[in-house]
């Protein structure tokens, strides 16, 4: 959730400036278009920080920044050492995929040099200050009910975010799905109480390893081939976008890496704690011993 708290998408002021000349010539505009109200003065609402997707590899904010609101996220964290075989595997997968889809971006590394995979148990949750403790308490209660369990990876897949602005290359979970579902369901009443969305009805627990921007106009139903590089660069000068990941990518990745992924030596982990990240605070809760 670090990136959402850093990113800002609020461009209404720019739009208003564009509208201004129109206000002075209302006759030239088509009558169906209603005029806009004047923008608020800065003394009423301080201008939100200006969003610049260029600073964030072209990503745009899906949820506008709101003063006093904390973004929170509940997930299972898997730390990979550089020496671990899964780390190597993820690296290889990324490189292979990058060859096919050059606009693919790695999910950023942490500064410590450790590589973490996150398996989400919730959507982004937006909390007010007084609700933070409530959420931690809820997660603590959930962890008390659940014994540690084993987790394993099963396959590669492409997942698209709700707003259809980005697509993710993810590794889906095999064993441990039920336990994850139990945890995620146990969180639901709390989220319901603070009027936040629960996790998906039919969750596909996964760990994302890379992402790419989607073309804004791209329609999911349309089955199109990935465009060539030149096309992409012509459309958006700075950040290349794609319609979707090529279908062949999944199959090739599956073919090449699945055996090693599913082998118990590489793809099995013991889950002993759940992480809650609220704003920049990260806290972990151990599962029932």
Q: Which residues of the chain form contacts with other proteins (CB under 8 A)? A: 12, 23, 34-41, 43-45, 67, 128-131, 192-195
**Across-strand partners of 158?**
169
User: Is residue 265 within 8 Å of residue 258, measured between CB atoms?
Assistant: no
CB 59 to other proteins: min, Å: 22
CB 191 to other proteins: min, Å: 11
- Contacts of residue 188, defined as CB under 8 A and 6 or more positions apart, other chains included, come to 198, 199
Q: How far is CA 13 from CA 41, 53, 78, in A?
A: 11, 16, 41
| Pairing state between β 149-160 and 166-173 | antiparallel
CB 162 to other proteins: min, Å: 16
| Pairing state between β 149-160 and 105-106 | unpaired
How many angstroms separate the CA atoms of 13 and 2, rounded?
25
Which of 56, 65, 73, 206 is catalytic? The answer is 206
Which of 56, 73, 95, 118 is catalytic? The answer is 118
Pull the structure tokens for residue 125.
């949750």
- Contacts of residue 28, defined as CB under 8 A and 6 or more positions apart, other chains included, come to 22
**Cα angle vertex 273, ends 269, 274, to 5°?**
110
CB 60 to other proteins: min, Å: 17
263: DSSP letter: S
Q: Which is nearer to other proteins, 127 or 151 (CB)?
A: 127
Write phi, then psi, for 87 (nearest 5 degrees): -60, -45
Q: Which is nearer to other proteins, 60 or 100 (CB)?
A: 60
User: Is residue 207 within 8 Å of residue 171, measured between CB atoms?
Assistant: yes
Q: Which is nearer to other proteins, 33 or 222 (CB)?
A: 33
Q: Which is nearer to other proteins, 39 or 53 (CB)?
A: 39
Q: Which is nearer to other proteins, 44 or 54 (CB)?
A: 44
Active-site residue flag, 118: yes
Active-site residue flag, 206: yes
User: Is residue 100 within 8 Å of residue 242, measured between CB atoms?
Assistant: no
CB 16 to other proteins: min, Å: 10
By annotation, the residues acting in catalysis are 118, 206
């Amino acid at each position: 959730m670090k990136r959402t708290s850093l990113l800002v998408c609020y461009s209404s002021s720019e739009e208003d400036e564009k509208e201004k000349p129109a206000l002075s010539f209302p006759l030239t505009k088509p009558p169906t278009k209603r005029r806009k109200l004047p923008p608020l003065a800065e003394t009423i609402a301080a201008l939100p920080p200006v969003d610049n997707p260029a600073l964030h590899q072209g990503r745009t904010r899906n949820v506008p920044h709101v003063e006093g609101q904390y973004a929170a996220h509940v997930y299972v964290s898997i730390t990979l050492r550089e020496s671990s075989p899964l780390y190597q595997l993820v690296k290889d997968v990324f490189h292979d995929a990058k060859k096919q889809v050059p606009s693919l971006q790695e999910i950023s590394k942490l500064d410590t040099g450790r590589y973490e995979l996150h398996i989400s148990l919730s959507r982004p949750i937006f909390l007010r200050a007084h609700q933070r403790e409530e959420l931690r308490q809820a997660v603590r209660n959930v962890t008390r009910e659940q014994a540690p369990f084993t987790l394993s990876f099963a396959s590669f897949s492409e997942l698209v975010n709700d707003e259809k602005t980005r697509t993710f290359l993810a590794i889906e979970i095999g064993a441990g799905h039920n336990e994850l579902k139990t945890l995620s369901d146990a969180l639901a009443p709390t989220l319901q109480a603070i009027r936040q969305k629960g996790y998906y009805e039919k969750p596909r627990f996964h760990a994302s390893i890379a992402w790419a921007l989607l073309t804004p106009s791209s329609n999911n139903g349309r089955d199109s081939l990935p465009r060539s590089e030149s096309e992409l660069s012509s459309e958006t000068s700075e950040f290349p976008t794609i319609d979707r990941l090529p279908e062949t990518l999944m199959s090739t990745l599956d073919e090449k890496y699945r055996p090693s992924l599913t082998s118990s030596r590489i793809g099995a982990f013991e889950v002993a704690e759940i992480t809650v990240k609220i704003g920049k605070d990260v806290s972990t809760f151990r599962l029932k011993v």
